[in-house]
Every structure is written in structure tokens, then in C-alpha cells.
Amino acid sequence: FFHQFKHYFRADAQSKLPFAGREMEIPDLPEGAEPIYDVNGTSGIHEVIEGLQEQVFKMAKEAGNAPKNFTEDVQAFAAAVDWTERWIQGLLVFQVLIWVVTVGTRRRFYWQSGTFFFVCALVSLSETLNTYAHMNWKSFSRQDYFDPHGFFISVMFSGPLLLLALFMMVNFLVVASNLLVEVKREELKRSRPKKKGGKEKKKEK
């Protein structure tokens, strides 16, 4: 997924490089030279290629092709995601439905309490879901969105649910304050007749 995300702003920089569009040729070792080996005894060519990729990414940033603000970050993310995939569309529908249900039942305390614990359980399982999806992404997706850092699942799954949980906590405070006001009003209504009755008795005496 990160390769798709970087490709959005890396293409222009790569087109400006002198070796763009050419295959990298590895020269033969001169006589007497020995290849580079790491601790495990494998060739170090993969490390060299990774270093070149990082240099290209760095040059893209210096060339001004990397996202510079929040709007460009959103555009890069939107360009990297395949929104035609059914499971992504289903995830978006789920987020919309749970928000609609929560807002529609905001005055029902027990329903809100159940929804709140359900959302908290989903957020706590997001890391486990990300690991499982990373291992089995080929069975339901065209590309692996589930990197070890959990960037995609945080934006598309746990992030909106955390915002929903925050909304419900604020709603709980509003409901509690309204109940407190109603209780005080009832206490005042009940205390007024007693005061009037006490004054009448004093006048009769």
C-alpha cells in the first residue's frame, strides 16, 4: 500500500532522473574483488537497492513532489486506494450506518451504552484485525493495505470509530446535565407546596 501511496508524488521525480526508464546493470566484479556479505551470509545487493529507493524518495521530497499540506496528503491517500473494491465500499457503508444509528438514538441511554462498548471493542481489536488482514489480504483484496504501522486501518476503521466514541461521551455529559436539571426542577416543585402549607398553619395559630 505504501508503494502505491508514494507513487502518487514519486513519478515526477523519477522522470527527471538521468537513469529513468533504464534497467540497472550490475557490473562484473574485477579480478581479486570479493562480493559484500552480511552477517547471515547473503549478498548485500538488496540493501543497495533499498538504499537507492530511499535516495529516490529523498530526491522527490527535495524536488517538491512530496505532499506539503493536509490537502495533498488526502489527495495522495485517495489516489493510492482502489475505491472500487467491494470490501472498502462495505467498510464505508458500515461507518455511515453506525454514525446514523448513533445520532438517531442519542437520547436513548441504554442503546447508547451498548453501542459505546461495541465501538470500544472494535477499536481494541483493530491491531489484531490488521495483522489477520495482512496475512490473508489476497483472499479479499487486490493489494495489501495492511502495513505493520496500521496506517490504513487507522484512517478507515479505528479513526472514525474513535471519533464516534468521543461524540457519545459528549452526548453522555449532555444527557446527564439535562437529567440533573430535571431532578432539581422536580425537587423545587415538591418543596413549594410544603412551604405554602407551613405558612397557612402559622397564620391559623
pTM above 0.75, yes or no: no
Supply the pLDDT for residue 96: 96
Categorize the per-residue pLDDT at 15 as very low, low, confident or very high, splitting at 50, 70 and 90: very low
- pLDDT > 70? residue 43: no
Among 102, 164, 161, 157, smallest CA distance to 133 is for 157
Q: Which residue has the higher pLDDT, 30 or 12?
A: 30
Contact 66, 9 (CB under 8 A): yes
| Mean pLDDT calculated for residue range 48-54 | 66
- pLDDT > 90? residue 26: no
Q: Which sign, positive or negative, has the C-alpha torsion 175, 123, 152, 47?
A: positive
- pLDDT > 80? residue 148: yes
Contact 100, 49 (CB under 8 A): no
Categorize the per-residue pLDDT at 128 as very low, low, confident or very high, splitting at 50, 70 and 90: very high
Would you give the distance in Å from CA 204 to the centre of its chain?
Answer: 73
Phi, psi for 52 (deg, rounded to 5): -65, -40
